[in-house]
Amino acid sequence: MNTKELIIEKVKEKFSESVEEISDFRDDLSITIKKDQIVNLGRFLKENSDLQFIMCKDVTAIDWATRKKRFTTVYHIYSFKLNYTLRLKSNIDDDPPTIETVSPIWPSANWYERETWDMYGIKFINHPDLRRMYMPEGFEHHPLKKDFPVLGIPGSLPLPNKAD
Amino acid sequence: MGLEAVLQKDGFLTTTIDAIVAWSRKSSVWPMPMGISCCAIEMIAAADPKYDIARFGSEVMRFSPRQSDLMIVAGTVTYKMAQVVRRIYDQMPEPKWVIAMGACTSSGGMYRSYSVVQGIDQFLPVDVYTAGCPPRPENLLNALMTIQEKISKTKARDFKNRSLAELEHSQN
Ligand code: SF4
């Protein structure tokens, strides 16, 4: 059994109800899971002794703009035991978008989720410290959303007065 | 060059206070290297033996704004950083000059985006703009020489005499 088959089997065994899609594109395995199971799946993948996905390399999101489930959060996790990077996805349909945090499982997700909050406005529930990462505090928008103009909203970011 | 020869010949020289103040100012313009991104590398290169900014009396890069005369803004200034740049500028004692080095500082450059200030002249009085992405060190030296030319035409009284209270206010 190769690595991918092992992962698929283990995940299906336990989460057959909540897995929405498993895709294998150009040798990258992606598992789309129902939003409310993301924490359980993450914990399972980390703690299962055959898988041991102990490292979270990235958390980000996609704004689909016109889809009903407008946002998708994307997690890249890595297992040293299998030497394999797995992608998890979760579609979010509520507005404003929310999803449970995975930072208790992978502490590195703390800052990634802050970045995702900053850029997409996805609220990570129970996140220990959900502040903006890049944009100044007090900024009201989320710049990577599709409806945010590339050149920004005039006046939304303060500039110092002109020095004389 | 210059001074020694004159002094050996006559033992004295006549000039104006303005001329001598401007001459000494322009001969030791100490830069504040505001190296925010890639342009900073070329600014550093301008200080190396090949380009040798010391030929113009500007080799003393001061990382304390209180000791510098010229702010070389070398890099992409974001809105968040603009507050910091302005704060540092405010801490520089008068008289002071600003070089906007590179496309980013002059106009936002290739970053036509929400986070980048589209030209630092929106909040700083820029004396010389330097074209290029990044400008070559010669170009920076050229900007420096332009500043020197500008300084040589100033008079000592051109710069405001600020009250102590005002200075203290601007430094806090
Ligand atoms: S002008 Fe070019 S080299 Fe200079 S900071 Fe901008 S991108 Fe970098």
Domains of chain A: 3-125 (3.30.460.80)
Question: What pTM does this model have?
Answer: 0.80
Q: Each residue of B24-56: pLDDT tens digit?
A: 888 989 999 988 999 999 999 999 999 999 998
Q: What pLDDT does residue B172 have?
A: 46
The answer, for B89 touching chain A at a CB cutoff of 8 Å, is: yes
Closest CA to A59 of A78, A80, A81: A78
Q: What pLDDT does residue B130 have?
A: 93
Q: What is the mean pLDDT of residues B67-74?
A: 91
Residue B161 pLDDT level (bands cut at 50, 70, 90): low
Q: Each residue of A33-90: pLDDT tens digit?
A: 998 989 999 999 999 888 899 999 999 999 998 888 899 999 999 999 999 999 999 9
Q: Is the pLDDT of residue B7 over 80?
A: no
Give contacts of A160 with chain B, Cβ < 8 Å.
82-83, 86, 123
Q: What CATH number has the domain spanning B28-154?
A: 3.40.50.12280
ipTM of the shown complex: 0.76
* B34, B36, B38, best to mutate for ligand 1 pocket (most atoms within 8 Å of CB): B38
Q: Each residue of B93-148: pLDDT tens digit?
A: 888 899 999 999 999 889 988 999 998 988 888 999 999 999 999 999 999 999 99
Answer whether A157 sits within 8 Å of B124, measured CB to CB: no
Compute the C-alpha angle B84/B90/B94, nearest 5°: 150
Residues with CB under 6 A from ligand 1: B 37-39, 75-76, 102-104, 109, 133-134
For residue B158, what is the DSSP state?
Answer: G
Q: What pLDDT does residue B76 have?
A: 93
Q: Each residue of B76-91: pLDDT tens digit?
A: 999 999 989 999 998 8
Closest CA to B139 of B104, B97, B101: B101
Q: Which residue of A has its CA nearest to B160?
A: A164
Q: What is the mean pLDDT of residues B148-152?
A: 88
Q: Which residues have CB under 8 Å from A152's CB, separation 6+?
A: A143, B113, B114, B115
Residue B171 pLDDT level (bands cut at 50, 70, 90): low
- What is the B117 CA–ligand 1 centroid distance (Å)? 13
Domain ranges for chain B: 28-154
